[in-house]
């Protein structure tokens, strides 16, 4: 299903950006891997691998690290943004000055805009205007993609042809790419599941066991559906790869930084100490605040996400937050 070899500007040299770059290179494409920190890019060039974020995976000759955004975009056929959510607006704003009006932009960033709480496609539309846009999400750990372990993702776009374009770029023998028109559903799942993974990590860290974990995932899915459909997401998205698939992955495997943060909080670490221990961006921390504000604005009850917010931002002890959930009164499961 591979397309003609393409030149791709890949913006964001973290673990996920590097892994997607490796996948694109395997499919015969040329990748310009951009990062704004010159020292980080130079370290990747010197080592021949991204030792800080994705060690043990040499970058191929067709992947070119650069700290020049203009160089990354020069003669590019496609642009893929894989930066943390809090940097997303700043990066796409720079693209608006450099890309033609009809040039499509895709991203694999999971989260909400930190300042406004908006979904990222809304941010992209504000900064880039009307053009082809796509979001890549689903159950996908960077290390497993780098090791060529079978992976499946969803690519949602405002234009079916653009979703198909990126599916063709990424699709390979160990990487399946499905398309969807539901950008809202795919984005809210990719963001909110990180908050729920922190909750599951806390519960597991406190020793509550498999029953509790299953209950949190299931009731967490109900929260995803509640807020996602209120925003206009399609119900089927929440039981697909970007919804249930990514939720289960992130809540149950210690490769998840958000789950590990929850485990660390249950051990008594502060939020800052837990983040320092992990050493990489933990999207669920910023997203918990955005989801708290969004749920309040929409009048939607999200008790699990709310307790995570209280632990992260109000200093509530993980044990007290868990107790608050357990003491909630009985109610119908489906209303």
180 annotated as belonging to a binding site for a ligand? no
246 annotated as belonging to a binding site for a ligand? yes
Question: Which DSSP state fits 141?
Answer: -
Q: Order of strands, edge to edge, in the sheet holding 78-81?
A: 63-66, 30-34, 7-11, 78-81, 105-107, 133-137, 151-157, 175-180
The CA distances from residue 205 to 136, 200, 247, 316, in Å, are 30, 8, 18, 16
45 annotated as belonging to a binding site for a ligand? no
257 annotated as belonging to a binding site for a ligand? yes
- The helix/strand/coil state of 104 is coil
13 annotated as belonging to a binding site for a ligand? yes
Q: Pairing relation of β-strands 49-50 and 54-58? A: antiparallel
Distance CA 180, CA 208 (A): 37
- The helix/strand/coil state of 87 is helix
Active site residue 331: no
The one catalytic residue in 148, 193, 275, 331 is 193
17 annotated as belonging to a binding site for a ligand? yes
Q: Are 259 and 198 in contact (CB under 8 A)?
A: yes
How many degrees, rounded to 5, is the angle at CA 220 between CA 311 and CA 223? 95
142 annotated as belonging to a binding site for a ligand? yes
Q: Which residue carries 């809090």 as its tokens?
A: 86
Distance CA 115, CA 101 (A): 26
258 annotated as belonging to a binding site for a ligand? yes
14 annotated as belonging to a binding site for a ligand? yes
64 annotated as belonging to a binding site for a ligand? no
How many degrees, rounded to 5, is the angle at CA 204 between CA 255 and CA 200? 70
67 annotated as belonging to a binding site for a ligand? no
15 annotated as belonging to a binding site for a ligand? yes
50 annotated as belonging to a binding site for a ligand? no
Distance CA 236, CA 142 (A): 26
Q: Are 108 and 120 in contact (CB under 8 A)?
A: no
Structure tokens at 303: 């008790």
Question: Which of 312, 286, 309 is CA-nearest to residue 112?
Answer: 286
The CA distances from residue 215 to 84, 121, 251, 315, in Å, are 29, 31, 12, 24
| Element at 203 (helix H, strand E) | helix 183-205
Binding residues for sn-glycerol 3-phosphate: 110, 138, 140, 193, 246, 256-258
Binding residues: 12-17, 36, 110, 138, 140, 142, 193, 246, 256-258, 283
Binding residues for NADPH: 15-16, 36, 110, 142, 257, 283
Active site residues: 193
Binding residues for substrate: 110, 257-258
């Amino acid at each position: 299903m591979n397309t003609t070899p393409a030149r791709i500007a890949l913006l964001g040299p973290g673990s996920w950006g590097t892994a997607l770059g490796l996948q694109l290179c395997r499919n015969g494409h040329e990748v310009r891997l951009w990062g704004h920190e010159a020292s980080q890019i130079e370290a990747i060039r010197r080592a021949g691998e991204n030792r800080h974020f994705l060690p043990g995976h040499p970058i191929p000759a067709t992947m070119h690290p650069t700290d020049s955004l203009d160089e990354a975009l020069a003669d590019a056929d496609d642009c893929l943004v894989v930066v943390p959510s809090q940097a997303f607006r700043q990066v796409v704003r720079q693209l608006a000055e450099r890309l033609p009006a009809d040039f499509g932009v895709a991203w694999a960033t999971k989260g909400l805009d930190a300042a406004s709480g908006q979904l990222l496609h809304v941010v992209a539309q504000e900064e880039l205007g009307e053009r082809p846009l796509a979001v890549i999400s689903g159950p996908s750990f960077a290390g497993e993609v780098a090791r060529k372990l079978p992976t499946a993702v969803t690519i949602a776009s405002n234009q079916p042809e653009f979703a198909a374009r990126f599916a063709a770029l990424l699709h390979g023998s160990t990487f399946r790419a499905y398309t969807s028109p539901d950008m809202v559903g795919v984005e809210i799942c990719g963001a909110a599941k990180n908050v729920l993974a922190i909750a599951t990590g806390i519960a597991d860290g406190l020793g509550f066991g498999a029953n509790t974990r299953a209950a949190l995932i299931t009731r967490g899915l109900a929260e995803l559906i509640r807020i996602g459909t209120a925003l206009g997401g399609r119900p089927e998205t929440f039981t697909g790869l970007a919804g249930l698939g990514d939720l289960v992955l992130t809540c149950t495997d210690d490769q998840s930084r958000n789950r590990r943060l929850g485990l660390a909080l249950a051990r008594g670490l502060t939020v800052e100490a837990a983040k320092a221990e992990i050493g990489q961006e933990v999207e669920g921390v910023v997203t918990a605040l955005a989801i708290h504000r969004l749920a309040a604005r929409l009048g939607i009850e999200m008790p699990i996400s709310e307790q995570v917010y209280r632990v992260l931002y109000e200093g509530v002890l993980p044990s007290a937050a868990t107790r608050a959930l357990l003491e909630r009164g009985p109610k119908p499961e489906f209303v």
